[in-house]
Amino acid sequence: MGESLVPIYIMGKRYEVPEGLTIMKALEWAGYQLIRGCGCRGGFCGACATVYRVPGNFRIQVGLACQTPVTPHMTLMQLPYFPVNKAIYDLDKVGSPLETLLQLYPEATRCLGCNTCTSVCPQKLQPMYYVAAALRGDFARAAELSFDCIMCGLCAARCPAQLVPYNIAIFVRRYYSKHMRPKPQHLKDRVAEIRAGLHDQALAGIAAASEEELKKLYLEREFEKL
């Protein structure tokens, strides 16, 4: 890492931080203690969504604080949480999935197709298109398009029609997985094996093993082929 410092603006206040740091490390370097808005530090959990702008570009930019390096004169704010209403539902009691979706999240139909959600998704997803697919009852498509969503909150923060795309998407994926998508045969077979007690003995053997034996078993374990 270089010795030079770059100026950045955290919630409007100027700090000089070493270049090459991620936004998250820069926040900590500047003296912030992260209690919320910081999770896996690996780009998966979606807790550290950040909005920023850089001079000379009118566009709002987004990134995960743990993944995005600082650049000179960037002005940023972290979005540890965005308030949304979460519907409660019992997947076993859902009748028509599309009608249920519209009852749980009636604002979904307010989507104008402006595509602002897509422009701020740090996962490079296209929330507008998964919402559109969900709204026409194409849950398979909506589930596929939204699969990599980390629910960071940015699309909900920016939506002019006040939708919460990721809550729509997680209902769709839950319903799709439970009721629409065919269950994989290998999973069905394995569950049947477990129910039939086929692995009870092996499990009892592990439970009774000494620490040394466990370590040996762990190191020699077989990896499932991908």
Partner 1 sequence: MKIPYFPGCTLYNKARGLDNSTRASLAALGVELAELPQWTCCGTVFPLARDNYMGMVAAARILAGVAGEGEDRLLTVCSFCYNVLKRVNYEMQHNLEARQKLNDYLEENYGGEIQVVHPLEICKEDVGFNAIQAKTSRNLKGLKVACYYGCMLVRPALEMGFDDPENPTIMEEMVAALGAEVVEYPHKTTCCGSYQVLHENDLVRQRVRDILNSAVAKGAEAIITSCPLCQFNLDWLQEKILELNTGFRQIPVLYFTQLLGVALELPRESLGLEQHYVDPRPLLLGAMPPLR
CB of 74 to partner 1, least distance (A): 23
CB of 129 to partner 1, least distance (A): 5
- Residue 65: other Cβ atoms inside 10 A: 25
CB of 137 to partner 1, least distance (A): 4
CB of 176 to partner 1, least distance (A): 15
- Choose one: 19-27, 65-73, 121-129, 179-187; the region binding partner 1 (CB under 8 A): 121-129
User: How many residues sit in the footprint of partner 1 (CB under 8 A)?
Assistant: 14
- CA 68 to chain CA centroid, Å, is 16
Which residue lies nearer to partner 1 by CB, 10 or 111?
Answer: 111
According to the binding rule CB under 8 A, does residue 128 interact with partner 1? yes
Which residue lies nearer to partner 1 by CB, 43 or 137?
Answer: 137
Answer for which of 9, 32, 89, 129 binds partner 1 (CB under 8 A) is: 129
- Residue 12: other Cβ atoms inside 10 A: 8
C-alpha separations of 6 from 60, 70, 141, 147 in Å: 20, 8, 44, 37
Say which residue the tokens 């629910």 belong to: 151
Q: In whole angstroms, what is the distance from residue 70 CA to residue 136 CA?
A: 41
CB of 108 to partner 1, least distance (A): 11
- Binding to partner 1 (CB under 8 A) within 135-164 occurs at 135-138
- Choose one: 18-26, 82-90, 124-132, 173-181; the region binding partner 1 (CB under 8 A): 124-132
According to the binding rule CB under 8 A, does residue 115 interact with partner 1? yes
Three-state DSSP state, 154 = helix
The pair of three-digit structure tokens given for residue 145, joined into one six-digit string: 């398009």
Q: Phi/psi of residue 157, each to 5°?
A: -65, -30
- Cβ distance 120 to 137 under 8 Å? no
Say which residue the tokens 């980390």 belong to: 150
Answer for which of 5, 40, 91, 114 binds partner 1 (CB under 8 A) is: 114
According to the binding rule CB under 8 A, does residue 19 interact with partner 1? no
The DSSP code for 39 is S
According to the binding rule CB under 8 A, does residue 132 interact with partner 1? yes
Q: In whole angstroms, what is the distance from residue 146 CA to residue 131 CA?
A: 9
CB of 143 to partner 1, least distance (A): 15
- Cβ distance 84 to 164 under 8 Å? yes
Give the residues lining the site for partner 1 (CB under 8 A): 98, 111-115, 126, 128-129, 132, 135-138
